[in-house]
């Protein structure tokens, strides 16, 4: 059974570890105050799945997921070779066709652009 003191489950949006709490009716739930996510697990099958995830693989799972996110959103500048995270504000525009052409390196004095095609 889930022990509310030591168990956590990641927020489905921001992956922050959240305390698994219990309702009065012994149904587990997590709340992420940052995202406003509330996840209640009401059915027995769901509760069993949740407690299995919490007990075993979930930590490894989250690490894998974060690793995938990192692969996907972490780019390396072709000019200065510094890594940076994808940020919509860094999007450069291709003036010829008005389409987004790539992500600009945030380093000062560097005009490196990673083409958007390079990550997907
Ligand atoms: Zn969250
Ligand atoms: Zn750069």
How far, CA to CA in Å, does 91 sit from each of 6, 75, 85, 117? 41, 13, 12, 13
> Please, which residues have CB less than 5 A from ligand 2, an ion?
77, 79-80, 105, 107, 110, 112
Cα 54 from Cα 34, distance rounded (Å): 21
Q: Which ligand is nearest to the CA of 109?
A: 2
> Is 67:55 a contact under the CB 8 Å cutoff?
no
State the pLDDT confidence band at 106, using cuts at 50, 70 and 90. Answer: confident
Structure tokens at 69: 């996110």
Closest CA to 39 of 15, 11, 7, 61: 11
**Per-residue pLDDT tens digits for 46-87:** 999 888 888 765 566 666 776 776 667 788 899 999 988 876
């Amino acid at each position: 059974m889930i022990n509310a003191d030591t168990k956590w489950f990641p927020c489905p949006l921001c992956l922050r570890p959240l305390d698994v709490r219990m309702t009065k009716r012994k149904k587990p739930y997590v709340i992420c105050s940052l995202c406003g996510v509330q996840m209640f697990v009401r059915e027995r099958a769901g509760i069993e799945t949740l407690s299995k995830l919490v007990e075993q693989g979930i930590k490894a799972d989250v690490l894998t997921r974060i690793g995938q996110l990192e692969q996907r959103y972490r780019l390396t500048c072709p000019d200065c070779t510094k890594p940076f995270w994808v940020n919509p504000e860094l999007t450069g525009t291709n003036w010829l066709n008005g389409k987004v052409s790539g992500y600009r390196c945030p380093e000062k004095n560097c005009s490196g652009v990673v083409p958007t095609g390079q990550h997907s």
